[in-house]
Structure 1
Amino acid sequence: MLTIEPFSIYIMICVLAPLLGAFTLLFLFIFEKRIDLLEQHTREIALERELQTALYNQLNSEIQPHFFFNTLNSILSLARLDRKTELIRSIETLSKLLKFKYQTNNSVITIEDELTYTGYYLEIQKTRFRDRLQFQITTDPNVKQAVIIPFLIQTFVENAFKHAFEKHIGDASLKIDVKKIEKEVHVTVWNNSFESQVEIPTEGGLGLENIAKRLELLFPNEYTKVDFKNSVNETTVLAIFPFVIKSDKLGG
């Protein structure tokens, strides 16, 4: 015969067992839903990265035809002026430029490579503008192996020619300055202007706007900036982005 105490324990077990079972099932259900949400979030992050990569590569590829068209247009002007010696030299420089470009398929390059690439473009323009063009490049040695998006400096330089030097006769002065300030890279391109440019030259999204988008995609959740200032006598374009060594960003 059961006493009152064992009987009370028996009743408690009978009452609590279903509740414990229900709580256990509820916990498992919540845990399973949590796992599903985490997996979904992980998939969404992966998908977002894929979309960002695709968009970045698209923006990167869009700027290249724009650059090559303007370079070929510069060479064509030499042919029209029958400047054969300079034309041959420009074509040789363009071939070096093309060879340099297609040696790598990386979506980012070092600042040193970007300056080399830009230097080829300036060689072509120097042949075209002769003594009228004067340019100066100042680079902090500490930033040469830092990463940069392709055509950033190139686009700044090209805008100076398209929106200033090619429109007016006169001395064409250009300065490129690349330096490290704390944990950031500051790229500044200055040129003398002949008239105030009312709007930032975007070239339908292929200029400064393109660069701003690519910097945001390459350095998500980090500070980046593309700034444009102009007056009657000068134009300055500034890009700011994190200082990252190539081995850190590209894995070697």
Structure 2
Amino acid sequence: MIAEPLFHLILIFSVLLPLVSLTVLALLGVAEKEVDYWQLEHARIRLEKELQESKYMQLHQQIRPHFFFNALNAFLSLARLGKNEEMIRGMEHFALFLRYSYEPKQPLIPFKQEWAHTNNYLAVQQLRFGSRLSVSVHVDPDGERALIPCYTLQTLVENAFKHGLEKKTGEKCLTIDFRRQGNWVYLRVCDNGNEGKELSIANGGVGLENLRKRFALLFDLPTQLVLQKDERGWTEALVVWPYVPGDEG
């Protein structure tokens, strides 16, 4: 005969064991679904980032031939005028620009690296327009390590030329202001190409919307990219994003 207390324990155990087992299985199923959901969400975000990178590189390939054609025309003009030294300097900047464009790079790079690349672009443009082009640059040394999506500054500067400065007669002015303020980074690219004219979506080109999406995908905190008029009536592209330092050097 089984003692009564032991019988009660066996009875309780046989009733509770299936219930506990079902509960555990249910919890495991929920946990498995949670893991599956986060895996799918992570895969979706990764694929979306890759898609944006692909779209951006396609855009970059579309913009580049326009610059190539103008650069080659500038070199031909210098050769005809016998300005060999200026032509050689321009071709050196052009070669550096090309080499950087085809080098593999990370989605985020230090601003110092982005500025060096864009500076080669500006050197060629300076050859094209000569004294008609005035470029003013302020780069905050405290923020040079800030990470920025590659080709951001170049795209903003290219847009300033393509949608404004190249069509403007007389003096062409471009200003670049980059500074860090606490945990945030501010980049302004301004030009007088559409001075006094109303802004429209066409003024920014498709590149700005692409950049806006890339910033939103690459940074966890809020980012901002707007096209507006500054106090002088110039076109201003303003980008704000969180400060993330890159490696030294």
TM-score range, shorter chain: 0.7 to 0.9
Return the index of the structure with the highest Cα Rg. 1
Q: Give the CA RMSD over aligned residues.
A: 2.6
Distance 1:13 1:101 in 2: 76
CA displacement, residues 226-248 of structure 1 (integer Å, 9 cap, x when unaligned): 01113794111100111101249
TM-score (norm 2): 0.85
Match in the other structure for 1:227: 226
1:51 aligns with 2:50: no
Residue identity matched to 2:166: E
Give the AA of the match of 2:235. Answer: T
Q: Distance in 1 between matches of 2:164 and 2:204?
A: 15
Is the 2:178–2:186 Cα contact (8 Å) retained in structure 1?
yes
Provide the C-alpha distance between the structure 2 equivalents of 1:247 and 1:49, rounded to a whole number of angstroms.
Answer: 26
Residues 1:237 and 2:237 aligned together: yes
Asked if 1 retains the 8 angstrom alpha-carbon contact of 2:132 and 2:172, the reply is yes
Is 1:115–2:115 an aligned residue pair? Answer: yes
Q: Tell me whether 1:63 sits opposite 2:39 in the alignment.
A: no
Give the conservation status (yes or no) of the 8 Å contact 1:63–1:151.
no
Output the amino acid matched with 2:200.
E
Q: Secondary structure at the match of 1:83?
A: helix
Q: Equivalent residues in 2 for 1:26-175 (5 A)?
A: 26-78=22-74, 82-84=77-79, 85=83, 87-175=87-175
| Higher deviation after alignment, 208-217 or 101-110 | 101-110
Q: Which runs of 5+ in 2 are unaligned?
A: none
2:135 and 2:199 map into 1 onto residues whose CA distance is 24
Aligned residues: 241
The one-letter code matched in structure 2 to 1:235 is T
Q: Verify the 8 A CA contact 1:196 1:230 in the aligned structure 2.
A: no
Q: Tell me, in whole angstroms, the C-alpha distance in 2 between the residues paired with 1:65 and 1:197.
A: 29
Question: Is residue 229–residue 235 contact of structure 1 (8 Å, CA) maintained in 2?
Answer: yes
SS for the counterpart of 2:137 is strand
In the alignment, the residues of structure 2 paired with residue 59 and residue 196 of structure 1 have an alpha-carbon distance, to the nearest angstrom, of: 30
C-alpha distance in 2, partners of 1:91/1:55?
Answer: 34
Q: Deviations over 1:25-48 (max 9, x none)?
A: 122212321331233134213312
Match of 1:199 in 2: 200
CA distance in 1, matches of 2:133, 2:21: 78
Unaligned 5+ residue runs, structure 1? Answer: none
The TM-score, its normalising length taken from structure 1, stands at: 0.85
Whole-Å separation in 2 of the counterparts to 1:113 and 1:14? 73
